[in-house]
């Protein structure tokens, strides 16, 4: 017992040293102690996450954190005992008695779904399986690894944005690292932590590619997007839309950013409408939404919501798009709040709205605040946010789930005001960050 505690502390120290010593986590505008503090805060957030999923969600078979961890643990035991049985379990072919035993323990490797666009749990199980080789089965060590990955992704987004825009703004570090939803849900043993890692590194490599035009950077970026397809396909698609716009703008002229973006959005909108009407894609989306509705109706809690007409068998997805945006941007309303997480979501939503209104006011007062490159990245982020918020609002059906689904877009939305704030304001905050 004592050895396990010492070993866990040792892994934590190693992770902190990686952040402290690595040049990648160094920045001219942010004090290294603040960077370390942000990482330590993420680790502390995981402890809170761990206790909630251990003592509040007591059913390990339904608690998302334990589902992936337990499956990886059983697969690890099977691999050590009988590698051949391990192959049989993950393929479900010609299973021996040993393979059948472990197959009954692994509950989430196979998902009973025929949806081509279904998100895949296997990637998270594999990450947990790799961690199991040195974690000694301690879930806290898995949490350290997941947090190091998600922190790397968040830091990559910060570095990428400041690399892309002409006037670096260190204050965008604050919402990326300290926004409560991002901090909490991005610190657990969930898909979100890995999504943040893949998304952040991919975005960073792509921005570096636009600067240096190195093919290796583009290949790395697209590889991470490809991996993202196995976890959150709609995030991967939204990210590719961002890359394509920034690529087009970069190779044409930044002076024409508004016109190019308008044409791009129009073409993409028409393309998405066409793709959405393809039978098998429409079937997958409809089935996913129907499954979400059934799941929501089977577990009646105050945090559920439904934006569809309960009396109609036709989902009419395009008719409820405005409702999906409203629920993602504005809800829960004050009278809908039923738990602490919804309070946090409510405060975040309206805090960002107030900041956006303030930044727009400042923008109209001084139109020279932002340059064309900043305009380009704001438009690209807007595409990502709208795409993600619409799909999240359509599918989540629960405010807690919605908070998790929105995290990738919330990162970009939360830094909008700080991209628009004047250089004068930025320098004042930069003094304290250093």
Q: What is the pLDDT of residues 129-160, one digit of tens each?
A: 999 999 888 899 999 999 999 999 999 999 99
Whether the CB-CB separation of 407 and 182 falls below 8 Å is answered with yes
Residue 322 domain flag = yes
144 and 68 in a common domain: yes
CA distance 316 to 309: 9
Q: What is the pLDDT of residues 193-216, one digit of tens each?
A: 999 999 999 999 999 998 888 889
User: Which pLDDT score, from 0 to 100, does residue 285 have?
Assistant: 60
Helix (H, G, I), strand (E, B) or coil at 342: helix
Task: Tell me the Cα Rg of the chain.
Answer: 22
250 and 167 in a common domain: no
Residue 424 domain flag = yes
Helix (H, G, I), strand (E, B) or coil at 304: strand
**Which stretches in the chain have pLDDT values below 70?**
1, 58, 61-62, 111-120, 251-259, 262, 265, 269-302, 309-318, 366-369, 421-434
Residue 215 domain flag = no
233 and 175 in a common domain: no
Q: Can you say how many angstroms the Cα of residue 64 is from the centroid of all Cα atoms in its chain?
A: 16
For the whole prediction, is pTM greater than 0.85?
yes
User: Which pLDDT score, from 0 to 100, does residue 204 have?
Assistant: 95
User: Which pLDDT score, from 0 to 100, does residue 230 have?
Assistant: 85
DSSP tag of 112: -
Total tally of structural domains belonging to the chain: 2
353 and 416 in a common domain: yes
CA distance 238 to 198: 13
98 and 239 in a common domain: no
231 and 194 in a common domain: no
Residue 301 domain flag = yes
375 and 262 in a common domain: yes
246 and 183 in a common domain: no
Residue 259 domain flag = yes
Alpha-helical regions (H) of 106-179: 122-135, 139-164, 173-178
Residue 209 domain flag = no
395 and 276 in a common domain: yes
User: Which pLDDT score, from 0 to 100, does residue 213 have?
Assistant: 85
Residue 153 domain flag = yes
265 and 179 in a common domain: no
Tell me whether residue 179 is exposed, middle or buried, using C-beta atoms within 10 angstroms of its C-beta: 0 to 12, 13 to 18, 19 or more: buried
Whether the CB-CB separation of 172 and 428 falls below 8 Å is answered with no
Whether the CB-CB separation of 156 and 204 falls below 8 Å is answered with yes
The domain of 239 spans 226-433
Q: With both helix axes pointing from N to C terminus, report the angle between 257-276 and 372-395 in degrees, rounded to the nearest 10.
A: 20
13 and 142 in a common domain: yes
Residue 221 domain flag = no
280 and 145 in a common domain: no
User: Which pLDDT score, from 0 to 100, does residue 380 have?
Assistant: 86
């Amino acid at each position: 017992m004592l050895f396990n505690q010492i070993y866990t502390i040792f892994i934590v120290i190693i992770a902190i040293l990686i952040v402290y010593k690595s040049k990648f986590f160094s920045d001219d505008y942010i004090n290294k102690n603040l960077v370390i503090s942000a990482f330590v805060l993420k680790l502390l957030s995981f402890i809170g996450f761990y206790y909630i999923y251990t003592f509040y969600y007591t059913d390990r078979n339904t608690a998302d954190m334990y589902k992936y961890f337990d499956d990886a643990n059983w697969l690890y035991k099977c691999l050590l005992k009988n590698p051949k049985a391990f192959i049989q379990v993950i393929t479900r072919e010609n299973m021996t008695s040993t393979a059948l035993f472990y197959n009954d323990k692994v509950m989430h490797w196979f998902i009973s779904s025929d949806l081509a666009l279904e998100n895949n749990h296997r990637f998270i199980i594999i990450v947990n399986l790799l961690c199991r080789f040195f974690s000694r089965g301690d879930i806290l060590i898995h949490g350290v690894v997941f947090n190091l990955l998600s922190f790397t992704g968040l830091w990559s987004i910060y570095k990428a944005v400041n690399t892309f825009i002409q006037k670096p703004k260190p204050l965008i570090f604050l919402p990326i690292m300290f926004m409560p939803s991002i901090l909490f849900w991005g610190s657990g043993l969930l898909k979100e932590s890995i999504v943040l890692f893949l998304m952040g590194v991919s975005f960073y490599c792509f921005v570096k590619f636009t600067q240096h035009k190195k093919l290796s950077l583009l290949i790395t970026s697209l590889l991470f997007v490809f991996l993202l397809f196995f976890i959150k396909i709609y995030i991967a698609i939204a990210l590719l839309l961002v890359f394509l716009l920034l690529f087009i703008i970069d190779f044409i002229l930044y002076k024409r950013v508004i016109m190019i973006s308008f044409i791009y959005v129009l073409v993409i909108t028409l393309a998405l409408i066409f793709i959405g009407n393809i039978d098998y894609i429409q079937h997958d989306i409809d089935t996913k939404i129907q499954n979400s509705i059934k799941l929501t109706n089977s577990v009646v809690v105050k945090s559920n919501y439904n934006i569809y007409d309960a009396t109609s068998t036709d989902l009419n997805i395009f008719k409820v798009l405005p409702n999906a945006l409203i629920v993602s941007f504005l809800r829960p309303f004050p009278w809908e709040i039923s738990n602490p997480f919804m309070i946090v979501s409510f405060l975040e939503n309206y805090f960002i709205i107030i900041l956006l209104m303030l930044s727009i006011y400042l923008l109209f007062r001084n139109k020279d605040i932002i340059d064309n490159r900043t305009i380009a990245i704001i438009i690209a982020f807007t595409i990502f946010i709208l795409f993600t918020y619409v799909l999240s609002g359509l599918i989540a059906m629960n405010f807690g789930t919605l908070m998790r689904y929105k995290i990738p877009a919330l990162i970009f939305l939360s830094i909008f005001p700080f991209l628009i704030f004047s250089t004068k304001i930025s320098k004042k905050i930069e003094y304290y960050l250093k």
